Amino acid sequence: PMRNIKLNSVLDVLINNAGIFQCPYMKTEDGFEMQFGVNHLGHFLLTNLLLGLLKNSAPSRIVVVSSKLYKYGEINFEDLNSEISYNKSFCYSRSKLANILFARELARRLEGTGVTVNSLHPGIVRTNLGRYVNIPLLAKPFTKSTFLVMSLLFNGVYTLDCASCIFIFMHA
C-alpha cells in the first residue's frame, strides 16, 4: 500500500502495465467500465500518487504500456462507461488511446523535472491478458506456436528499452 512508502524512499522507474482485454461488460468498484478503469484510470491514479516521489528521485522515468490498437479507439465523453453501447474491442482500444494521451500530456507537464515519460506497444507477449478472447479450437495450436516464437525473440524488449530495467525499483 501507498502508506508503506518511506519519506526518504527513491523510485527510479514506474512501469504501468496492469491490463484487462476484451472482457464482458463489467464495472469497477468505482463505477467505471472495467477496461477503462483498469487499463487507464488505475495507472493515472497510481502515477499521480507517486509523482512527488518520482520528481524527488529524478532522474526517473515512467513507462506507460499501451497498445497499437489505440488507433481504433476514440473517447466518447457522452458514453464514457459504454452504457449505451458496449463493444469490448472498442473499449480496449479507447483505454489504450487514453494511455497515450495521458503519457503525452504528462511528458509535456514534466519537461525539465528530470522525470521522463514513455509510452509503448509491448509487441506480442504471452500472458493471460486474452483470457476473454474466444479462439476457435482448431486455431489454438497456431496461436501458441506464434506466441512461442515471438516471445523468444522479443519478449519484453520494448519495455526494457524504455525503462532500462525490469522492475519498479524502490530503495531507501
Give me the average pLDDT of each 10-residue run along the chain (172 residues).
Answer: 68 92 92 95 96 96 89 86 90 94 97 96 64 50 46 49 46 38
Strands, DSSP E only, in 38-145? 60-65, 115-120
| CB of 125 closer than 8 Å to CB of 155 | yes
Active site residue 92: yes
| CB of 103 closer than 8 Å to CB of 117 | yes
| CB of 80 closer than 8 Å to CB of 35 | no
* Res 85: pLDDT: 87
* Res 119: pLDDT: 92
* Res 145: pLDDT: 45
Q: Considering the candidates 25, 70, 72, 92, report the single residue annotated as catalytic.
A: 92
Longest dimension (CA), the chain: 55
* Res 111: pLDDT: 97
Global pTM value: 0.74
Q: Give the CATH number of domain 2-171; options: 3.30.70.100, 3.40.50.620, 3.40.50.300, 3.40.50.720.
A: 3.40.50.720
| CB of 36 closer than 8 Å to CB of 74 | no
Sketch the domain layout of the chain as residue ranges.
2-171
